[in-house]
Amino acid sequence: MSTKRIAAIALFLTACAMLTPAIAQPIARTPVRIEVPGARNLQFFTLWVALGAGFFQAEGLEPKVLVDTTPRNAGQMLLRGEADVALLQPPMFLGMMAEEKPILLFASLLANEPINLVVRKEVAEARQLRANAPLRERLEAIRGLRVGVAGEPPPRLRALFASAGLDAARDVELVIVPGPEQVQAFAERRVDALFSHTPYLETALVKHGAVLLVETSSGEVPALADGQIHALATTRNLARERGDLVLAVTRAIHRAQRLIHSDLKATVDALIASGAAGAERELTEAIAAVYGPAVPPTPAVSVPGIERAATLYPAHPRAPDFSLVRASDFVAAAFADDAVSGAAPAR
């Protein structure tokens, strides 16, 4: 074979190699097990957005969601070493603090109250309710009406009325209605108003024309704003030994918070992609618009918010005595600080 022919063959093979796409190498991501109290609760808004938008993967993580059999079990998998991170509601983290469990809250998911006050449309029209009226005026306009509320939220409803110098027990008739029955009670006019959260809140708004009378999730009621509601927690040992993992989770949450406060459509897309939202986009859009303002701008955990939560939420199994234990001892603030600043984890 001539030298020229050999050179031509070599040139051809080189060209083919350049045109052949490289075989993509699988990306190695670090597994992270996330314990959640429920798979479809949109109060866990920020976590679902982080999952649905792929922000954990963007931080080099491969999330695995572990769902508790009942919400009251939240955190038990974490304490047994079966989860790396747990989403804890106030009753759970308060109870664990009371028992001095080795937990650390490191990322806040929700700061404003997720329960909002809505009234039936015909009631709003008959009483000439104005959404832009002062809070006291709006609440005085529903004097004597029947307000449906589940068994645990009345302290927050009382705080709402007290913030306007009113008394919920005197000024309205509280009707205890279990969550699953609230929409039916509202539709059948057994109650005139609901102090309610997802999924009953958006269903009343979209399906039954409810009027949002007090948007506590927007932060308009200081007594129910800028607190500490849902948060992510880990164990002291894991925070110490795997700080890089905890920081990556915190960064994913901060990505979600920035998205929530900048792009409603992308937020709704992420909620739907996460599998936590139902099939009806209109319902998801409605609750995203209400809950977006309730999400804090950063993952920083509020110590005063934890202490205030003990007065508003029923701790399980008991509330902590903050004269004996310090809420700050159960907070790992550095992770949120580093996630926001872009700092690397401490070694």
Q: Which residue, 249, 321, 282, 261, is CA-closest to 34?
A: 249
Write down the pLDDT at residue 120: 96
Within 10 A of 153 (CB to CB), how many other CB atoms are there?
A: 22
Q: What is the pLDDT along the chain (347 residues), one digit of tens a residue?
A: 554 444 443 444 444 444 444 445 567 899 999 999 999 999 999 999 999 999 999 999 999 999 998 888 899 999 999 999 999 999 999 999 999 999 999 999 999 999 999 999 999 999 999 888 999 999 999 999 999 999 999 999 999 999 999 999 999 999 999 999 999 999 999 999 999 999 999 999 999 999 999 999 999 999 999 999 999 999 999 999 999 999 999 999 999 999 999 999 999 999 999 999 988 999 999 999 999 999 999 999 999 999 999 999 999 999 999 999 999 999 999 999 999 998 665 43
Rounded Cα gap, residues 309 and 270, in angstroms: 29
**Pairwise CA distance, residues 285 & 64, whole Å:** 26
Predicted pLDDT of residue 69:
87
Compute φ and ψ for 190, nearest 5 degrees.
Answer: -80, -20
CA distances (Å), origin 248, targets 216, 230, 344: 31, 19, 10
Domains of the chain, each with CATH number or no CATH: 30-111+226-341 (3.40.190.10), 116-224 (3.40.190.10)
Edge-to-edge, what's the strand order for the sheet holding 211-214?
173-176, 146-149, 193-196, 116-119, 211-214
CA distance 244 to 335: 9
**Sequence-ordered strand ranges (E) for the chain:** 30-36, 61-67, 85-88, 103-108, 116-119, 146-149, 173-176, 193-196, 211-214, 231-235
81 CB-contact burial (10 Å; exposed 0-12 / middle 13-18 / buried 19+): exposed
CA distances to 18, 151, 273 from 260, in Å: 43, 30, 15
Considering the entire predicted model, what is its pTM? 0.89
